[in-house]
């Protein structure tokens, strides 16, 4: 199916374990983003990527690692999960408008992954 | 850097009544403004966006928002809500770097 998908949708893990959340989009969008959603904080940007092999930190990157070897995939890894990383994680993608036009465009969001760290 | 403040964390409203969700932003550069909706257990869906031009923006599901540069606001309105409008609403702002900064969200609960 076309669109943006995330897996798993639900995950329970233990403190100290490594966890990888997957994100896949079929639009060939250049930009991809990872957010976490916590009550009272809205969505906060963890990492983003402007293209394959180009990634950069967002607002809350500590404890997370990303990679982007292919345009369509943007996995997020928690190297050693902590309870504070219990959250709902959203992946998003966008395709910037061409130069000369507005330089930002709509972000399309996946359905989210609910992660619980015990 | 830009930031967003959503002035109401929860808004209860009766069906067929109007609703207004308030959003203020701060930025030192030209901004682009968005409203997203999140229905229970779902991802975020774009309601509307302001990039340039007319300050009154119309979106999906009967929502509209007005960009007010002097008051740095981007309030969302709907003249008559339905039960199905029960959701969380997020205001977001971006500059030229494609990154979005979100407000904390406003939970709208529509009652019959």
For CA atoms A95, A99, A100, A102, give the dihedral sign: positive
CA B25 – CA B17 distance, rounded (Å): 26
Measured torsion, CA atoms of residues B24, B106, B108, A23, in degrees rounded to the nearest 10: 120
CB contact under 8 A, B104 and A41: yes
State pLDDT tens for residues A52-70.
999 999 999 999 999 999 9
Q: How confident is the model at residue A97 (pLDDT cuts 50, 70, 90)?
A: low
pLDDT value of position A105? 66
Q: Given 3-state DSSP classes, what are the helix, strand and coil percentages for chain A, each rounded to the nearest 5?
A: 5, 50, 45
Task: Please tell me which residue of chain A has the smallest CA distance to B48.
Answer: A106
Q: CB of A34 within 8 Å of any CB in chain B? A: no
% residues pLDDT > 70 (chain A): 91
Q: What are the Cα distances from residue B17, in Å, to B20, B79, B81? A: 10, 7, 6
User: Nearest by CB to B96, which of A104, A108, A110?
Assistant: A104
CB contact under 8 A, B46 and A106: yes
% residues pLDDT > 90 (chain A): 79
- Expressed in angstroms, the distance from the first to the final Cα of chain B is 41
- Per DSSP, B9 falls in state S
pLDDT profile of chain B (112 residues), mean per 10:
90 97 86 91 90 88 94 96 96 82 94 95
pLDDT value of position A98? 58
CB contact under 8 A, B51 and A104: yes
Contacting residues of A for B4, CB less than 8 Å apart: 42
Asked if pLDDT for residue A101 goes beyond 60, the answer is no
Contacting residues of A for B53, CB less than 8 Å apart: none
A116 close to A11: Cβ distance less than 8 angstroms: yes
């Amino acid at each position: 199916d076309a669109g943006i998908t995330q897996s798993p949708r639900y995950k329970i893990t233990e403190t100290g374990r490594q966890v990888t959340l997957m994100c896949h989009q079929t639009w060939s969008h250049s930009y991809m983003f990872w957010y976490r959603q916590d009550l009272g904080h809205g969505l906060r940007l963890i990492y983003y990527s402007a293209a394959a092999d180009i990634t950069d930190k967002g607002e809350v990157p500590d404890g997370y690692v990303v990679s982007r070897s292919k345009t369509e995939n943007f996995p997020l890894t928690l190297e050693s999960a902590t309870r504070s990383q219990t959250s709902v994680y959203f992946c998003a993608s966008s395709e910037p408008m061409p130069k000369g036009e507005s330089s930002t465009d709509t972000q399309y969001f996946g359905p989210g992954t609910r992660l619980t760290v015990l | 850097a830009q930031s967003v403040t959503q002035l109401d964390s929860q808004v209860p409203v009766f069906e067929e009544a109007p609703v207004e969700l308030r959003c203020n932003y701060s930025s030192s550069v030209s901004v682009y403004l968005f409203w997203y909706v999140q229905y229970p257990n779902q991802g975020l869906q774009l309601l509307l966006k302001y990039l340039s031009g007319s300050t009154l923006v119309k979106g999906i599901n009967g929502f509209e928002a007005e960009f007010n540069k002097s008051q740095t606001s981007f309030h969302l309105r709907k003249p008559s809500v339905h039960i199905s409008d029960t959701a969380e609403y997020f205001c977001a702002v971006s500059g030229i770097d494609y990154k979005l900064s979100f407000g904390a969200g406003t939970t709208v609960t529509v009652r019959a």
